[in-house]
């Protein structure tokens, strides 16, 4: 049998997406899958689908604080979160970061996984900004990109080619039915299967005929 193509549509502004990202990166070496990381723009999906950030509902925000903390421990992902983070998300645009990640995907895809991870670490572990050019360059160098490559990539984020690619990827996620992130699409038995959220990966395994070994398989 051929490998099952699994697409992960993601934005580094989302803590739940970081959980799913890390688990799928672990399972790409265990399951018979071809994992394709698809950087998109969560803000665009929310706007076009009429979705709202879950933390805008006070009781849900209260629950999310506990839920993300528990899931981070269970998934072994170093997210730290406080009530202040919800306002921090609303004040931060991930557009420049996701364009930078998109530009890397288009030119130096070998850096896509570590670069994406470093953006999450900076925003969700170190609680630092990811929206300004100087912060983006810092993240890039933490991910192993040279100063020259980082600067060259930063210059690409205003190009129509990069903007169009990010928009197309975001639109494709919505064509599959995405209304938020993470949006995981498994291409199995000739059709796409959409799974929303980082807590549906066990179900993903069941659908594609793979064994779930927990979020951090040894």
Answer yes or no: are the C-beta atoms of 9 and 168 closer than 8 Å: no
- Given the residues 14, 116, 150, 198, select the one marked as catalytic: 14
| 19, burial (CB in 10 Å: exposed 0-12, middle 13-18, buried 19+) | buried
Compute the distance between CA of residue 175 and CA of residue 198 in angstroms, rounded to an integer: 20
> Does the active-site annotation cover 14?
yes
Compute the distance between CA of residue 16 and CA of residue 132 in angstroms, rounded to an integer: 23
Radius of gyration of the chain (CA): 17
Closest CA to 39 of 92, 117, 91: 117
Q: Which residues, listed in sequence order, are joined to residue 195 by a DSSP beta bridge?
A: 184
Active-site residue numbers?
A: 14
């Amino acid at each position: 049998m051929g490998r099952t193509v699994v697409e992960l549509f993601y934005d580094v502004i989302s803590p739940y997406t970081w959980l799913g990202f890390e688990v799928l990166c672990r399972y790409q070496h265990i399951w018979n899958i071809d994992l394709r990381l698809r950087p998109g723009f969560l803000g665009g999906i929310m706007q076009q689908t009429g979705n709202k950030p879950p933390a805008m509902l006070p009781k849900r925000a209260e629950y999310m604080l506990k839920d993300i903390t528990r899931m981070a421990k269970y998934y072994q992902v170093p997210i730290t979160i406080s009530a202040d983070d919800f306002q921090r998300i609303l004040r931060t645009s991930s557009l420049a970061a996701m364009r930078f990640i998109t530009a890397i995907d288009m030119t130096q895809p070998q850096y896509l996984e570590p670069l994406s991870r470093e953006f999450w670490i900076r925003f969700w572990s170190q609680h630092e900004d990811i929206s300004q050019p100087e912060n983006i360059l810092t993240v890039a160098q933490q991910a192993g990109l040279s100063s020259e490559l980082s600067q060259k990539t930063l210059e690409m984020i205003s190009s129509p080619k990069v903007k169009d690619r990010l928009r197309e990827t975001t639109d494709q996620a919505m064509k599959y039915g995405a209304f938020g992130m993470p949006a995981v699409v498994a291409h199995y038995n000739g059709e796409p299967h959409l799974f929303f959220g980082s807590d549906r990966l066990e179900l993903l395994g069941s659908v594609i005929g793979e064994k779930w070994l927990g979020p951090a398989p040894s």
